[in-house]
Amino acid sequence: MKILDEKRAPNPRRVRVFLAEKAITVPYQDVDIMTGAHKSEAFGRVNPVQRVPVLVLDDGTAICESMAICRYFEALQPEPSLLGQTPLEIGTIEMWNRIAEINFLFPVMHYFRHTHPAMASLEVPQVAPWAEANKPRVSDILRTLDRRLSETPYLAGERFSVADITALVATDFMKPARLAVPDGVPHFARWYADVAARPSSKA
């Protein structure tokens, strides 16, 4: 078993943090996307959409997509649960993870991919207006998350979950994207200090 990984990319990091929370150790094999390693014919046979991360099992079976990999390991090792246990908890975590993914992580990634010079060869074409369209969406969702976090310690409730992992990774990816957290989000700031202090955040 191994995970095809890229240390600088946000989605592989979601898996690394998830596994760190569960104290699961898996060998990683680096795939340098900046050199186009993920575009090779060999990599395409493992993942036809040519993205990282990819979990490759001992029999050669490949599981792509970060959340699919997390679900695999949650089923393999249910504790500590990061995807929920009761129907309500499972649904609530899924809801907030999707909110963090679609409304936070994706806009940050779009802004980065369509503005950063290093991404010019990978994001063809870079569309500056699309980047600018996503910029205010980041501030908007941070204010929404701040309101949520005024009510609960973590995004999905009382316990740390995969929703917090997604939002943590999105927040940290704002730095290379050159995006700033807006003023006036004290509950979000409190939450970030808490989750960033967890040992898993270093994964």
Decide: 70 and 162 in contact? Cβ < 8 Å.
Answer: yes
- Summarize pLDDT for 109-166 with one digit per residue, the tens: 999 999 999 888 888 899 999 999 999 999 999 999 999 999 999 999 999 999 999 9
CATH annotation of 87-202: 1.20.1050.10
Any idea where the domains of the chain sit in the sequence? 2-76, 87-202
Fold of 2-76: Glutaredoxin (3.40.30)
Please give the pLDDT value at position 36.
79
Please give the pLDDT value at position 118.
85
- Summarize pLDDT for 23-45 with one digit per residue, the tens: 999 999 999 888 878 888 888 89
Q: Report pTM.
A: 0.95
Residue 55's H or E segment, with its range, is strand 54-56
Q: What average pLDDT score do residues 13-22 get?
A: 98
Please give the pLDDT value at position 35.
83
Give the integer Cα–Cα distance in Å for 199 and 201: 5
